[in-house]
């Protein structure tokens, strides 16, 4: 409890910190007995599937039941964890404008369905703690001035100078609402008028959100994704991003987990440049166990667009972490697009412009954010990662599946826990009809799939889905059995060839050399390893009898080395 008291003092000061502790202490004391901590937070067997609760649909059953059926039939013993994107009742933003944090959206299923999935996989839940729906009962009670809800939202005089605030969107920062008394107030709405930012300066809000957090833990969450955490604390006259109090709130939740649920992990979602992102590791033991590796998706795309590994290799060398309690959450696609901010300082502006043009040619869209001077700049590339890897628009691309799988082989080989979006696993293309229906660019990679059609496509060896899905599953199956792919196993980026990404991973007397040709031409490389007695490619199962290796276009090898 001492760590929690210290966290609260750092957030609220001595007096308010004591009041906050008195408020949440009964909640902590009433929580069920803590679980025994595992030997380590993560291992090479940890692979996460990211999906909406209704990404797969069946007319004969509820969406969560369809997901359970598909996962148990196709993904058991391959994926360790399933991240179900917000499955709570919501009013907008495909689930991220939550009406009730404690309920399951009845259109998806029930808590029993969530627990049933948890019988087969570890679970990851979204903790949407920055904001709540304007249609929520909490906000309605705030507008009514009910006790305990008076300071739920952040009221701001619209004449206040907020020009320094970092904006992730181009929408207005403040939204006007009318209270039950007739009084008009302007409240902070970082992401949309329907998403009311919560006022964490209020210990009433803290109390409510601690209850939400522990409700998720009690219902089986092993990883808690802290959505939009960077924007949590607001102070007029500052950037309102990554403030000290925000980091202290992350530390508070880590302290609560340490006390009550030592196996549960914090995962911070901060779509920002790499140096800012990794600050959420704290000192290695007091903040997040994992952070999203946001720079990876755009850098990997750049690597395949330009067919050069130089920048990716240079950046990958920086992925060294001091603590065995920390690692990266590696991904290339999610429900959102490919972030542009995470490559600030890594790619020149002209190269970013080239990526934007590629995305547009491949049928994607570009989302923009508002800058301090009122101008707009690209914030996100909206496209499926599969189609980001497409070439020869309008023509047959014979390397499309191979190129995409090559990009995934790099993601899977890097230090960290891999996370794979269901539409990447299934080889989904851009859903342009969906963008037209909703008017939202992000809809492009959020299609709801008919599960019967998915099974039918997978049964057809010539279908694009089948050509992506089965080789991808094979790669994952191989990866999870290699100690050298432990998230914290040692790694070395090898500068072998400009068009071949090369990585050495080592652990428990196993050494792997991972090679990926990022180009459309065959490449020959020479391994400089000494005293090699035997080499075998784990992907094909073939023995390699020479240190001079010919890589076909977009070929990838995971070579086990015996010395």
- List strands edge to edge, sheet with 510-517: 490-497, 500-507, 510-517, 556-562, 534-537, 543-544
Active site residue 22: no
Report the 3 state secondary structure along 186-247.
EEECCCECCEEEECCCCHHHHHHHHHHHHHHHHCCEEEEEECCHHHCCCCCCCCCCCCHHHH
Pairing of strands 97-98, 90-92: antiparallel
DSSP assignment of 307-321 equals T--HHHHHHHTT---
Provide the sign of the torsion angle of the four alpha carbons 427, 432, 433, 435, taken in this order: positive
Separation CA 226–CA 235 (nearest Å): 20
- 3-state class of 130 per DSSP? coil
Contact 513, 563 (CB under 8 A): no
- Region for 387 from its dihedrals, namely left if φ exceeds 0, alpha if ψ lies in -120 to 50, beta otherwise: alpha
For residue 1, what are its two tokens?
A: 């409890």
* Dist. CA 399–CA 160, nearest whole Å: 54
- Report the C-alpha gap between 20 and 27 in whole angstroms: 12
Residues 92 and 133: beta-carbon distance below 8 Å:
yes
- The catalytic position among 54, 227, 325, 387 is 227
Up-side HSE of residue 491: CA atoms within 13 Å toward CB? 24
Q: Using CA of residue 26, residue 28, residue 31, residue 33, what is the dihedral sign? A: negative
Q: Which two tokens stand for residue 169?
A: 């969107």
What is the 3-state composition of the chain as percent helix, strand, coil, each rounded to the nearest 5? Answer: 35, 25, 40
Nearest to residue 271, comparing CAs of 356, 339, 175? 339
Catalytic residues: 227
């Amino acid at each position: 409890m001492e760590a929690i008291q210290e966290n609260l003092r750092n957030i609220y000061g001595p007096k308010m910190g004591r009041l906050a502790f008195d408020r949440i202490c009964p909640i902590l004391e009433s929580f069920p007995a803590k679980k025994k901590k595992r030997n380590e937070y993560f291992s090479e067997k940890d692979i996460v599937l990211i999906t909406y609760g209704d990404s797969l649909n069946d007319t004969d059953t509820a969406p969560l039941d369809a997901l359970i059926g598909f996962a148990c039939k196709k993904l058991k013993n391959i994926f360790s964890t399933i991240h179900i994107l917000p499955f709570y009742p919501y009013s907008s933003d495909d689930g991220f404008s939550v009406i009730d944090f404690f309920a399951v959206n009845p259109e998806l299923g029930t808590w029993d369905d969530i627990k049933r999935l948890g019988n087969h996989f570890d679970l990851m839940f979204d903790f949407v703690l920055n904001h709540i729906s304007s249609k929520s009962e909490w906000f309605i009670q705030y507008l009514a001035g009910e006790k305990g809800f008076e300071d739920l939202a952040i009221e701001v005089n619209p004449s206040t100078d907020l020009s320094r605030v970092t904006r992730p969107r181009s929408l207005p920062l403040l939204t006007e609402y009318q209270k039950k008394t007739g009084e008009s107030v302007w409240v902070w709405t970082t992401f949309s008028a329907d998403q009311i930012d919560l006022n964490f300066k209020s210990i009433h809000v803290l109390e409510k959100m601690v209850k939400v957090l522990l409700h998720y833990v009690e219902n089986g969450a092993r990883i808690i994704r802290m959505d939009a955490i960077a924007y949590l604390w607001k102070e007029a006259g500052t950037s309102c991003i990554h403030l000290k109090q925000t980091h202290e709130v992350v530390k508070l939740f880590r302290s609560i987990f340490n006390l009550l649920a030592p196996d549960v992990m914090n995962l911070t979602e901060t779509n920002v440049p790499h140096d800012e992102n990794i600050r959420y590791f704290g000192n290695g033991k007091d903040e997040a166990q994992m952070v999203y590796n946001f720079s990876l998706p755009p850098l990997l795309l750049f690597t395949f667009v330009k067919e050069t590994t130089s920048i990716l290799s240079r950046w990958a060398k920086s992925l060294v972490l001091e603590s065995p309690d920390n690692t990266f959450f590696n991904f290339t696609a999610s429900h959102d697009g490919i972030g542009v901010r995470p490559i600030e300082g890594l790619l020149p502006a002209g190269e970013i412009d080239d990526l934007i043009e590629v995305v547009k040619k491949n049928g994607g869209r570009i989302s923009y954010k508002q800058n301090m001077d009122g101008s707009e700049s690209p914030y996100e590339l909206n496209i499926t990662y599969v189609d980001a890897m497409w070439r020869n628009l309008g023509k047959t691309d014979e390397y499309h599946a191979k190129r995409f799988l090559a990009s995934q082989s790099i993601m899977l080989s890097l230090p960290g826990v891999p996370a794979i979006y269901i539409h990447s696993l299934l080889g989904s293309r851009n859903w342009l009809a969906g963008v037209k229906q909703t008017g939202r660019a992000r809809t492009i990679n959020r299609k709801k799939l008919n599960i019967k059609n998915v099974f039918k496509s997978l049964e057809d060896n010539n279908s694009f889905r089948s050509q992506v899905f089965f080789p991808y599953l094979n790669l994952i199956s191989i990866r999870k059995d290699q100690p050298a792919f432990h998230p914290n196993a040692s790694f070395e980026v090898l500068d072998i060839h400009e068009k071949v990404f090369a990585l050495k991973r080592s652990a428990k007397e196993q050494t792997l050399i991972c090679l990926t040709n990022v180009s459309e031409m065959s490449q020959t490389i020479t391994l400089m390893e000494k005293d090699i007695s035997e080499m075998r490619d784990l992907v094909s199962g073939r023995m390699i009898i020479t240190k001079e290796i010919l890589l076909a276009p977009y070929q990838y090898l995971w070579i086990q080395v015996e010395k």
